[in-house]
Amino acid sequence: MSKIDELARKTGEWLRGGGPLSEVVISTRIRLARNLAGFPFLSRCTEQQRNDVQKLLKEQIERLDLGQELFYVDIDQADELDRLVLMERQLISRQHAEGEGSRGVGISVSETIALMVNEEDHLRIQVLRSGLGLPETWDEIDRIDDMLGASLEYAYHQRYGYLTACPTNVGTGIRVSVMLHLPALKFTGQLDQVFQAARDMRLAVRGLYGEGTEAVGDFYQLSNQTTLGKSEGQIISEFEQILPKVIDYEKQARQALLRDKLTSLDDKIWRAYGMLQYARSVSSEETLFLLSHLRMGVNLGRIDQLSLKTVNELMLSTQPGHLQKLRGERLAGEQRDAIRAEYIRQRLHGPSEN
Amino acid sequence: MSKIDELARKTGEWLRGGGPLSEVVISTRIRLARNLAGFPFLSRCTEQQRNDVQKLLKEQIERLDLGQELFYVDIDQADELDRLVLMERQLISRQHAEGEGSRGVGISVSETIALMVNEEDHLRIQVLRSGLGLPETWDEIDRIDDMLGASLEYAYHQRYGYLTACPTNVGTGIRVSVMLHLPALKFTGQLDQVFQAARDMRLAVRGLYGEGTEAVGDFYQLSNQTTLGKSEGQIISEFEQILPKVIDYEKQARQALLRDKLTSLDDKIWRAYGMLQYARSVSSEETLFLLSHLRMGVNLGRIDQLSLKTVNELMLSTQPGHLQKLRGERLAGEQRDAIRAEYIRQRLHGPSEN
């Protein structure tokens, strides 16, 4: 069984479902964009140079002492399903999964660390934690950055800071992303208001799989847009100002639902449970939508025959890549929706009719 | 317990669920519009005349020997809930339930016969049967019409036939209505085509509760529009020409679904079952919509832990009047939707969570 096969059978860090304030904050993620001084940016690299970048970085990555096992995946040689699985686990970006040319990723077995080689920049360091934990996540990525920086020469400009392929990343090269579950704000119609406040603080609001993806199932990523002219500390502290407010709004909205709209709330939660137990065909989008309601139900103590662990596991295992991986076969869309429904029914120990 | 309280606890003839072709034909209904020669039409009656009409007709109705017990309800003295229950059972029209002034209805205990007094006309005779049965229904209503006609003088014109309050009923005064369940034609998108064919034959397509009501849950009534210039026999024979075709189209559509769209079909059926078992709030319209899918599931043998009897019972008992009657209290909209959901869960022996 390959490393990726093993991964696909686990819940993964970002859906572990623990960590501080995990009833609202799914995960905290920081990534740093770095490039090597002796090479052109990827868009201007020859194939040979691109290969050399990967060779060099792969060696350094495999030599890192992170206190946990790390394995390297040559993405350009990995099959489509493996790439999809890594993307669904938030270990590589969609761009990295679907791109071309020599590229790879170093992954720590706990999945807290992912080091993408030749994505948009030569190197992207990612640290991911379940729940809210900006300072710890920052400390860890800063430590890894220092370790790699000790043996690599990064492209760095005295005045501009770290140089990156895309100008929006120049400076610190940092992107902080916090994944939030905001079903109650959605339900009460307050979401736009909260997002507007976030945008006023120059934070971007994105869907589950980052840039350009739709928000599905009330899961949203907040991330910084500015990397230049601010220190990493400032960027993180901006997050630390706004996040407690967003979390608090969501919690207040949940309490308001419990107080004033209990029947509607329960209806939403239990219908989702009924649908997941009875559907005979269900898309991954609808599954996330329904699981979002279940997650809220579990978090608010409205449904007790189900654990958060099961909900989190289902969020991942019902994604197209994972589903096909677990099933051990490629499945076309319609067939996949039927198999997904069957898998969910079994997993929820639903009635075994038909 | 009043007669109406007793009725509300039974399934009623039109939802008995038996009779020929009952997998597609819910019920066959014929009504005849009659007026008394010695009185003006209702719109021109004084209150006294209106009272006299009811008194006279009530006496005749109570004297009828129909071979089964018959009871008379003074609609103007009945409470709102009782009127709603009678309407939901198709024993009186919406107009009769919601109208004003002296009026009533004689109902046979089997609910096959209903004799409305002072609805739009002085007298409307209705015979209702579960399933398809035009000749039998006609024979019965003709017999009752003759019995009443023996002791009453109907307003009749040699050339025009029976005279009625509304010119559309002049002539035979007959309206034949067949209630059909056409979920597969809806599913396959062929409904408009079939209805167009019906309209070409001058049949009207209506919803569950007749004129001006929306089609809910794939239940449709086909009824004649012409009463003048044709004999009763001709009108019935027109129905006998088109009905087998409509029924056959629906059956073909069902077979096509079983053959080509089994997963989608099962998905629709089982989701409806899941919804009904898990919802915490459900309107009567949505209930009918979901029960329609369940009915199709039972009829096609796709769901076997449920009988057609239960589905039919639920169709009636979840209607607003019946629900409140069974519960023994008046319920406001939102509360009613919650109580309805609870009632359905209990009735389906669903999991007893919460």
pLDDT in tens, A17-60: 777 888 999 999 999 999 999 999 999 999 999 999 999 999 99
pLDDT band at A352 (very low <50, low <70, confident <90, very high): very low
CB atoms within 10 A of CB A137: 22
What pLDDT digit, counting tens, does each position of B294-344 carry? 999 999 999 988 888 889 889 999 999 999 999 999 999 889 999 999 999
H helix and E strand count, chain B = 13, 10
**Quick check: B280 and A266 CB within 8 A?**
yes
**Quick check: B274 and A270 CB within 8 A?**
no
With beta carbons less than 8 A apart as the criterion, state whether A257 and A269 touch.
Answer: no
**Quick check: A280 and B271 CB within 8 A?**
yes
**Quick check: A305 and B353 CB within 8 A?**
yes
With beta carbons less than 8 A apart as the criterion, state whether B126 and B30 touch.
Answer: yes
CB atoms within 10 A of CB B349: 11
Structure tokens that stand for A18 in this block = 């623990």
Which secondary-structure segment (H or E) carries A93? none
pLDDT band at A70 (very low <50, low <70, confident <90, very high): very high
- Closest in B267, B273, B275 to A281, CB measured: B267
With beta carbons less than 8 A apart as the criterion, state whether A217 and A289 touch.
Answer: yes
Contacts 24+ apart (CB under 8 A), B91-96: B91/B126, B92/B116, B92/B119, B93/B119, B93/B210, B94/B209, B94/B210, B94/B212, B94/B213, B95/B119, B95/B120
- Read off φ and ψ for residue A109, nearest 5 degrees: -60, -30
Q: How far apart are CA A104 and CA A94, in angstroms?
A: 13
Any B CB within 8 A of A249 CB: no
With beta carbons less than 8 A apart as the criterion, state whether B70 and B109 touch.
Answer: yes
With beta carbons less than 8 A apart as the criterion, state whether A137 and A28 touch.
Answer: yes
With beta carbons less than 8 A apart as the criterion, state whether B123 and B42 touch.
Answer: no
Backbone dihedral region for residue B253 (phi beyond 0: left; psi -120 to 50: alpha; all else: beta) = alpha
Give A261's contacts in chain B (Cβ within 8 Å). Answer: none
- Cα diameter, chain B: 68
Q: How far apart are CA B183 and CA B197, in angstroms?
A: 18
The residue whose two tokens read 């209106």 is: B50
* Concatenated DSSP letters of B126-166: EEEEESS-HHHHHHHHHHHHHHHHHHS-B-EETTTEE--SS
**Quick check: A277 and B274 CB within 8 A?**
yes
Give B279's contacts in chain A (Cβ within 8 Å). Answer: 267, 270-271, 274
With beta carbons less than 8 A apart as the criterion, state whether A221 and A208 touch.
Answer: yes
Any A CB within 8 A of B260 CB: no
For the ranges A147-151, A296-300, B165-169, B214-218, the lowest mean pLDDT is seen at B214-218
CB neighbour class for B305 (10 Å; exposed up to 12, middle 13-18, buried from 19)? exposed
DSSP 8-class letter at A13: G
For the ranges A83-87, A274-278, B31-35, B211-215, the lowest mean pLDDT is seen at B211-215
Per-residue pLDDT for A246 more than 70? yes
Q: Compute the average pLDDT of residues A279-287.
A: 95
Any B CB within 8 A of A343 CB: no
Q: Which residue of B has its CA nearest to A277?
A: B274
Q: How far apart are CA B146 and CA A353, in angstroms?
A: 54
* Concatenated DSSP letters of A269-323: HHHHHHHHHH-S---HHHHHHHHHHHHHHHHTTS--SS-HHHHHHHHHHTSHHHH
Distance from the Cα of residue A57 to its chain's centroid: 23
One-letter amino acid for residue A295 of the chain: R
Q: Enumerate the H helices of A163-231 as residue ranges.
A: 183-187, 191-200
Which secondary-structure segment (H or E) carries B354? none
**Quick check: B279 and A278 CB within 8 A?**
no
Q: Pick the more confident residue, B113 or A197.
A: B113
Q: So what's the pLDDT on residue B209?
A: 66
Backbone dihedral region for residue A19 (phi beyond 0: left; psi -120 to 50: alpha; all else: beta) = left
With beta carbons less than 8 A apart as the criterion, state whether A223 and A176 touch.
Answer: yes
In chain A, domain spans: 3-254, 262-348
Q: How far apart are CA A20 and CA A26, in angstroms?
A: 9
SS3 B346: helix
Q: So what's the pLDDT on residue B6?
A: 86
Which strand ranges, in their side-by-side order, compose the sheet holding B174-181?
A: B70-74, B104-108, B113-117, B123-130, B25-34, B174-181, B219-224, B203-206
CB atoms within 10 A of CB B71: 16
In Å, how far is A303's CA from the nearest CA of chain B? 8
**Quick check: B263 and A334 CB within 8 A?**
yes
Q: What end-to-end distance do the CA atoms of chain A give, in Å?
A: 33
With beta carbons less than 8 A apart as the criterion, state whether B63 and B57 touch.
Answer: no
- Read off φ and ψ for residue B176, nearest 5 degrees: -100, 130
Structure tokens that stand for A93 in this block = 């970006």
Q: So what's the pLDDT on residue A212?
A: 55
Q: So what's the pLDDT on residue A214?
A: 58
Q: Compute the average pLDDT of residues B153-159.
A: 93
Per-residue pLDDT for A207 more than 90? no
Q: So what's the pLDDT on residue A178?
A: 95
DSSP 8-class letter at B196: H
Q: How far apart are CA A266 and CA B281, in angstroms?
A: 9
pLDDT band at B212 (very low <50, low <70, confident <90, very high): low
Any A CB within 8 A of B9 CB: no
Q: What is the pTM of this model?
A: 0.89
Q: Compute the average pLDDT of residues A261-285.
A: 96
For the ranges A141-150, A241-250, A285-294, B215-224, the lowest mean pLDDT is seen at B215-224
**Quick check: B270 and A338 CB within 8 A?**
no
pLDDT band at A202 (very low <50, low <70, confident <90, very high): confident
ipTM computed for the complex: 0.87
pLDDT band at A289 (very low <50, low <70, confident <90, very high): very high
What pLDDT digit, counting tens, does each position of A100-128 carry? 999 999 999 999 999 999 999 999 999 99
Structure tokens that stand for B131 in this block = 């399933």
Interface test with A, best of B264, B269, B271 (most A CBs within 10 A): B271
Q: How far apart are CA A266 and CA B354, in angstroms?
A: 10
Per-residue pLDDT for A210 more than 70? no
Of 3.30.590.10, 3.90.25.10, 3.40.50.1010, 2.130.10.10, the CATH number of A3-254 is: 3.30.590.10
In Å, how far is B274's CA from the nearest CA of chain A? 5
SS (H, E, C) A109-143: CCCCEEEEECCCCCEEEEEEEECCCHHHHHHHHHH
Give A354's contacts in chain B (Cβ within 8 Å). Answer: 266, 270, 302
Q: Compute the average pLDDT of residues B169-196.
A: 92
- Closest in A270, A305, A341 to B279, CB measured: A270
CA-to-CA dists, residue A173 to A42, A139, A314, angstroms: 16, 16, 33
Interface test with A, best of B276, B280, B282, B331 (most A CBs within 10 A): B280
| Cross-strand partners of A8 | none
- Of A345, A249, A257, the C-alpha closest to A297 is A257
Q: Pick the more confident residue, B230 or A262.
A: A262
Structure tokens that stand for B224 in this block = 């004649």
Q: Enumerate the H helices of chain A as residue ranges.
A: 3-8, 47-63, 80-88, 94-98, 134-151, 183-187, 191-200, 232-260, 262-278, 284-299, 308-317, 320-327, 333-347
Count CA atoms closer than 13 A to A86's CA, side-chain side: 33
Give A266's contacts in chain B (Cβ within 8 Å). Answer: 280, 354
**Quick check: A274 and B270 CB within 8 A?**
no
Calculate helix-pair angle for A333-347, B262-278, nearest 10 degrees.
30
In Å, how far is A237's CA from the nearest CA of chain B? 43
**Quick check: A277 and B275 CB within 8 A?**
no
